[in-house]
Every structure is written in structure tokens, then in C-alpha cells.
């Protein structure tokens, strides 16, 4: 793992991953971040690495096959970590199409470029031989499994049963990745992680949204009864799990990633209010999200026993540090919410 292509590296998890890799992986010579800078992409997340000689930013679309092939030619990647996606369930309910093109066609474009550059005989459709050490990792989600009732957990063999346009697009992409393994023998892995929290998360997702609203004494909109359960993992633990799979994962395998940390939404919201010293009267129960999955829970036995990964963060420490980060970086949140950073991009790229 010397020359990595990270897609979606200006987003929440991608930017945390870039920091994690550049701080922890001595073998990495080059890390290229390909990102379209949609509303969710923010180069401010990467200010501290922009002068790192190993880091290159490419502004572009994962669906642009010409561009993707050009950067494969130029940078000779041996590893692809594919984060780029439309990632918010609520947006997918009102605008499904972009989820399908970005999340499915974008993945297929990257897979094709990787196959062309990594297969030792790319024009031979029967060739299943690849350059040594290459790997494509698809960053997926536990949401592809659908919803659980009060009991049970998602294992890697739980049937795919997505309920939102977002999770359907991620599930479809996973099936395309599987097909490239089965048909072409491509060295791939799929990781399916539970809900992440931590620094640089766009304030449309539960934790930063509630935190921001509470700080400004705005109502905290809880869907339905607030008893939906998510299995929360600190983003840094997600990053360490991805690196573990890159190093030790068996080709073609899926690995679930989760921290055995199930919490009801209302519990998270109360915790935030409590930490900020705000009153529960800010809680506002609103009409439920259509198709809202009741419960997610990850069985992480495969990655822990087979690959030896385990999360480092307790929820208490992770939430404490996360709330502190948001409180210490009010400018980051304000610029994201006000859209100032979008103006910054349009100025920055006006010459291109
Ligand atoms: P995010 O929305 O914060 O970031 C997505 C990034 O992708 C942004 O920087 C955006 O500009 C970029 N992007 C979007 N469309 C693009 C395109 N066509 N070409 C190039 N770049 C494009 O998302 P996130 O929360 O960081 O999630 C990253 C990945 O992890 C996604 O694939 C998501 O499905 C998966 N995931 C997220 C969670 C979570 O809790 N956030 C949990 C499990 C899995
Ligand atoms: P979210 O952060 O959107 O992640 P996901 O839908 O991918 O799990 O939402 C987490 C949970 O919080 C989910 O059950 C929906 C709920 N939620 C609310 O109740 N109100 C909100 O305003 C948001 C954004 C989410």
C-alpha cells in the first residue's frame, strides 16, 4: 500500500481517513484525493495536510471515466479506497437519481479503471491475474441489510434488503463490486460500517445537527418516537478498521465494522443536551422519515476474530471529544451552514 487513491476525501469519513493515513502509515508514498466537492465536500477539513508532499488533490467526478483513467495512468495507484458517495438518507428520499448515478455508476467507473490498470492482460476477458499487492476497497454501510427488529444482528451473510434510495444505491454498488470479483477475479473487499460520529461531520446528520441546533436554542427535530436504534462508531475506529482490511482482508470478502454500541436516537439527543446544559424542552417530535429503519446492529465477530481489529474508543470518550471538537471549531460549522465555503470553492476554481 504505497500509492493510494482516496475518493470523496473532502467529506466526513474520507477527510478523517486521509489524516489517519498520513499520520500513521509510513509506507505510503502518495495519496491522491479525488473529490467533486459537492455540498458535502469541504477542503477546509484538509488544510493541515495540503502542504504534505505525499498529498495531491484532484477536483473531479468519479463518474468521469476519462479523468479517472488519466489519474490511474499518471499516479500508478496500487490501492483504491472508495468513499465518494451521496450519503444522506433524507436527501435520497427527495432526490434519488443522483444517488443512483454517483453511488452505482461512480463505483463501476472506478472498478473499470482499476481493472484496466491492474490486470496483467487487460484485453483478455479471461485473465484473472493482477499486479501484486493491488486492492480495491468499497466503503459500504450496514444500511444495505435493511432493518432489524428488537433482537438479532447483521452478519456478513444477512440478506441484502435495503429500504431507502440511499441504501439501495449502496447495495447495488456492493453487488457490482462482488460481480467484478466473481467475473474478473479482481482483488476487492467490501466493508459495511455502522453509523459514524466524530469531527468534520456535515451538520445534516444526527449528532452535529442536534449539537448545532441545541447551541443556538433551536428545536431538535426527532423523527417519530426517537426510539430508532443505531450502532455508533467513532470515525477514527472506522479508519483503523479500513486499514486492517486493506492489509489483511481476504480478496472477495465482506467485513462488517461496528463497535457494539447500540443507542436510541433520543438517548443521543438527551446526552447532547445534558453536555451543553440545555433544556429538554428543545426536543421537538416531528413526522417520521418515510421507510425509517427501526434498528441497526452489527455483529463484528468476523473482523475481530479473523483480522484482529477492535475499536479503540469507548462511546463516552468518543462523544466527549466530538462535542469538544465542535464547540472548539464554531467557525467550521458556521461556514458550512452559511454556505460560505461554497463561495470559497467557486472563487477558487473560477480559473479552471
Ligand atoms: P460525505 O457525504 O460526508 O462525503 C462524501 C464525499 O464524496 C464528499 O466530499 C463529496 O464531495 C464527494 N462526492 C460526492 N459525489 C462525488 C462524485 N460524483 N465524484 C467525486 N466525489 C464525490 O459522506 P461520509 O459520511 O464521509 O461517507 C463516506 C462513505 O462512507 C460513503 O460511501 C458512505 O456511504 C459510507 N458510510 C458512511 C457512514 C456514516 O455514518 N457517515 C457509515 C457507513 C458507511
Ligand atoms: P442520520 O444521521 O441521518 O443517519 P442514518 O439515517 O444514515 O442512520 O440519522 C441517524 C438517526 O437519527 C436516524 O434514525 C434518523 C434520526 N434523525 C432524526 O431523528 N432527526 C434528524 O433530524 C436526523 C437528521 C436524523
User: Alpha carbon of 206 to those of 38, 200, 267, 343: distances in Å?
Assistant: 20, 13, 12, 25
CB 279 within 8 A of CB 213: no
Output the pLDDT for position 352. Answer: 39
Q: What confidence score (pLDDT) does residue 349 get?
A: 55
Q: What is the pLDDT of residue 339?
A: 77
Protein residue closest via CA to atom 20 of ligand 2: 222
Predicted pLDDT of residue 329: 95
Catalytic residues: 142-143, 166
Model pLDDT, residue 348: 57
Report the alpha-carbon distance of residue 212 to residue 328 in Å, rounded.
12
Question: What is the per-residue pLDDT for 185?
Answer: 98
In testing the pocket of ligand 2, which one of 194, 221, 223, 283 has its CB within 8 Å of the most ligand atoms? Answer: 223
pLDDT per residue as tens digits for the range 63-117: 999 999 999 999 999 999 999 999 999 999 999 999 999 999 999 999 999 999 9
Looking at the CA of residue 101, tell me the nearest atom of ligand 1: 18
Which residues of the chain are under the pLDDT cut of 50? Answer: 351-352
Q: Whose CA is nearest to atom 29 of ligand 1?
A: 83
**In the prediction, which pLDDT does 338 show?**
85
> Residue 337: its pLDDT value, please?
85
Query: Which CA distances in Å does 95 have to 90, 99, 197, 288, 336?
Result: 9, 8, 24, 18, 21
Amino acid at each position: 500500500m504505497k500509492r493510494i487513491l482516496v475518493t470523496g476525501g473532502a467529506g466526513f469519513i474520507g477527510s478523517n481517513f486521509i489524516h489517519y493515513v498520513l499520520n500513521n502509515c509510513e509506507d505510503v508514498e502518495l495519496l491522491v484525493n479525488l473529490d467533486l466537492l459537492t455540498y458535502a465536500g469541504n477542503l477546509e477539513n484538509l488544510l493541515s495536510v495540503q502542504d504534505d508532499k505525499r498529498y495531491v488533490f484532484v477536483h473531479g467526478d468519479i463518474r468521469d471515466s476519462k479523468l479517472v483513467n488519466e489519474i490511474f495512468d499518471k499516479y500508478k495507484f496500487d490501492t483504491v479506497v472508495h468513499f465518494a458517495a451521496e450519503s444522506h438518507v433524507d436527501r435520497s428520499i427527495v432526490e434519488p437519481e443522483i444517488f443512483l448515478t454517483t453511488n452505482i455508476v461512480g463505483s463501476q467507473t472506478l472498478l473499470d479503471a482499476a481493472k484496466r490498470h491492474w490486470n496483467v492482460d487487460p484485453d483478455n476477458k479471461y485473465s484473472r491475474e493482477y499486479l501484486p499487492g493491488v486492492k480495491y476497497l468499497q466503503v459500504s454501510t450496514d444500511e444495505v441489510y435493511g432493518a432489524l427488529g428488537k433482537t438479532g444482528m447483521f452478519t456478513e451473510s444477512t440478506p441484502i434488503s435495503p429500504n431507502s434510495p440511499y441504501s439501495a444505491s449502496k447495495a447495488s454498488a456492493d453487488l457490482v463490486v462482488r460481480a467484478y470479483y466473481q467475473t474478473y477475479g479482481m482483488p476487492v473487499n467490501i466493508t459495511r460500517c455502522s453509523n459514524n460520529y466524530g469531527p468534520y461531520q456535515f451538520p445534516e446528520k444526527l449528532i452535529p445537527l442536534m449539537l448545532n441546533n441545541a447551541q443556538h436554542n433551536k428545536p431538535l427535530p426527532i423523527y417519530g418516537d426517537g426510539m430508532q436504534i443505531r450502532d455508533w462508531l467513532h470515525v477514527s475506529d472506522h479508519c483503523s478498521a479500513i486499514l486492517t482490511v486493506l492489509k489483511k482482508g481476504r480478496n472477495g470478502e465482506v467485513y462488517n465494522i461496528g463497535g457494539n454500541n447500540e443507542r436510541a436516537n433520543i438517548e443521543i439527543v438527551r446526552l447532547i443536551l445534558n453536555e451543553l446544559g440545555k433544556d429538554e424542552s428543545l426536543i421537538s417530535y416531528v413526522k417520521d422519515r418515510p421507510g425509517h429503519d427501526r434498528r441497526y446492529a452489527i455483529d463484528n465477530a468476523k473482523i475481530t476474530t479473523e483480522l484482529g481489529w477492535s475499536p479503540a474508543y469507548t462511546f463516552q470518550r468518543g462523544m466527549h471529544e466530538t462535542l469538544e471538537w465542535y464547540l472548539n471549531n464554531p467557525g467550521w460549522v458556521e461556514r458550512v451552514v452559511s454556505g460560505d465555503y461554497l463561495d470559497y470553492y467557486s472563487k477558487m476554481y473560477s480559473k479552471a
